[in-house]
Amino acid sequence: MGIKSISAVMASAALAAPAPLYAGTSADVPAELQTKIDEAASVCGEMDGGTFAMEDTAIQRVDLDGDGDEDWVLNESAFACSTAASMYGGTGGTMSHFLIDDSLASMLTQGWGMAKLGPHTVLLADVHGSQCDGINPTPCVTASVWDAEEKVWRSTGASWE
């Protein structure tokens, strides 16, 4: 499925420009993430015929839920469009897409990482200060844990007293 969708994008790109849209996409990228890549490339192409590029760091294999199997992450921070420097980001950061089995969830972050807390595998994200009732420079992070039964990320604000 990855190979098929890549060739479809390449074919449509060939109409506008002979150069390949992007390099470094492996054929085994899950369809859910390939769709996000294709959408980003399409939006770039519509922006004055921009050329889309993606660094290898865009796709990461990480065990997000702590079950021992590597899951998938797609970071739009590693996307670039030749005709629009800030197309994939803003002051809030860039979108990262987290895929566990066939459950895709996305978050706007300025960076993210994983931590272990007791039995939990925790996704930490640096987010816009407005999410902490502040402004952009206000330090603000969020922590999320995967609920394998309900197939959703769980997070809350702290109950500080």
146 binds Ca ion (CB under 5 A): no
DSSP-derived 3-state class of residue 16:
helix
Residue from 69, 106, 148, 152 touching Ca ion (CB under 5 A): that is: 69
Tokens representing residue 158 in the block: 């702290």
Q: How far is the CB of 62 from Ca ion (least distance, A)?
A: 8
Q: How far is the CB of 55 from Ca ion (least distance, A)?
A: 24
Nearer to Ca ion, 63 or 147 (CB): 63
39 binds Ca ion (CB under 5 A): no
Q: How far is the CB of 90 from Ca ion (least distance, A)?
A: 30
Q: Per CB under 5 A, which region of 43-51, 55-63, 78-86, 91-99 contacts Ca ion?
A: 55-63
Residue from 67, 115, 136, 138 touching Ca ion (CB under 5 A): that is: 67
Task: Write the CB contacts of 55 (distance below 8 Å, at least 6 apart in sequence).
Answer: 24, 78, 80
Q: Between β-strands 152-154 and 141-147, what pairing exists: parallel, antiparallel or unpaired?
A: antiparallel
65 binds Ca ion (CB under 5 A): yes
Helix-then-strand count for the chain, H and E: 2, 11
Closest CA to 64 of 110, 102, 115, 108: 115
Residue from 25, 53, 71, 140 touching Ca ion (CB under 5 A): that is: 71
63 binds Ca ion (CB under 5 A): yes
How would DSSP label each residue in 59-84? EEEE-SSSSSS-EEEEEGGGEEETT-
Residues that bind Ca ion (CB under 5 A): 63, 65, 67, 69, 71
